[in-house]
Structure 1
Amino acid sequence: MDEHKIEEILRIGSQEEFGNREKRVRSSFFGTVRRAMRHIPFMEDVVASYYCAIDPETPSATRGILIAALAYFVLPIDIVPDMLLGIGFTDDIAVLLTAFNAVRGNVRPEHYRRAREVLDDL
């Protein structure tokens, strides 16, 4: 996936877009995590990013980037449909890694602690 397309996906957008994306993420995130666990080697970072994105103490620009990436992750139809075994999550991985690397300093230890707890239960 090229950098231009990733930048387009991670565009923060309007407050209304953010709200719609956040609703989609909150309703579909953990179902997608269950389906993707075997395909994404850095799932702890993804789940920690979720907790960072919903944390009201996280800066709004960081929340916007993470919600955009997580919304793309939970979308069932994207550039490479997730149903394609083996390659379906490659575009999601590219978007998630780019977003995570952009905001890494804002993902705090408590986000990782919650992520580990959830992943242990899954």
Structure 2
Amino acid sequence: MDDIKIGEILLPGEESEQERREKRVKRRFWPTFRRAARQIPFSRDLVAAYYCAIDPKTPTRTRGILLAALAYFVLPIDIIPDVLAVVGFSDDVAVLTAAFAAISGQIKETHYTKADETLADTPES
């Protein structure tokens, strides 16, 4: 993936676009996460990003970037099919890494605490 493509994916979008992405992310995040958990090296950060993105206290731009990245993560079709094991999630990892860099420091400790609680309660498959 090139930087331009990732930059396009991470555009925060208008409020209506963010709302649409939030609904999609809420509906598809957990099933996709369960499939990807072993192949994503930063599962804790990913879950914390989810909680940050759905937190109404998170700044609009940050929410928009995270929702865009998470929406890409949960898309059933992307550049490299996720069914290809480790390689399949490499494009998702690139997009998420760019999102984390773009919002550096915006994921709060409360989001990580919620992520830790969720991950502790999530059985490994």
Tell me whether the two structures share a fold, i.e. TM-score over 0.5. Answer: yes
Q: Name the structure 2 match of 1:7.
A: 7
Could you list the runs of 4 or more consecutive aligned residues of structure 1 that deviate by over 4 angstroms after TM superposition? none
1:17 CA displacement: 1.5
1:118 partner amino acid: T
* Aligned partner letter, 1:96: L
- For residue 105 of structure 2, give the secondary structure of its aligned residue in structure 1: helix
Q: In structure 1, how many angstroms separate the alpha carbons of the residues matched to 2:121 and 2:77?
A: 27
User: Normalising by structure 1, what TM-score?
Assistant: 0.96
TM-score in terms of structure 2 length: 0.94
Q: Which residue of 1 aligns with 2:93?
A: 93
The amino acid that maps onto 1:88 is: G
Number of equivalences: 122
Unaligned runs of 5+ in 2: none
Deviations 1:20-48 (A, max 9, x none): 11100001111111100010010100110
1:53 aligns with 2:53: yes
Structure 1 position 112 matched with structure 2 position 112: yes
1:27-80 residue CA offsets vs partner (Å, 9 max, x unmatched): 111111110001001010011011111111110000000000000001111001
Q: Offset at 1:15?
A: 1.9
Give the letter for the 2:29 counterpart: F
1:72 aligns with 2:91: no
Other structure's SS at 1:93 match = helix
Partner SS state of residue 77, structure 1: coil
Identity among equivalent positions (%) equals 59
20-29 or 8-17, which deviates more = 8-17
Q: Distance in 2 between matches of 1:71 and 1:106?
A: 18
Q: Distance in 2 between matches of 1:57 and 1:18?
A: 15
Deviations 1:58-111 (A, max 9, x none): 100000000000000011110011111221100000000110121121111010
Counterpart of 1:66, as a letter, is: L
Any stretches of 5+ residues in structure 1 without a counterpart? none
Alpha-carbon RMSD across the aligned residues, in angstroms, is: 0.8
The residue that corresponds to 2:25 in the other structure is 25
Q: Distance in 1 between matches of 2:62 and 2:90?
A: 23
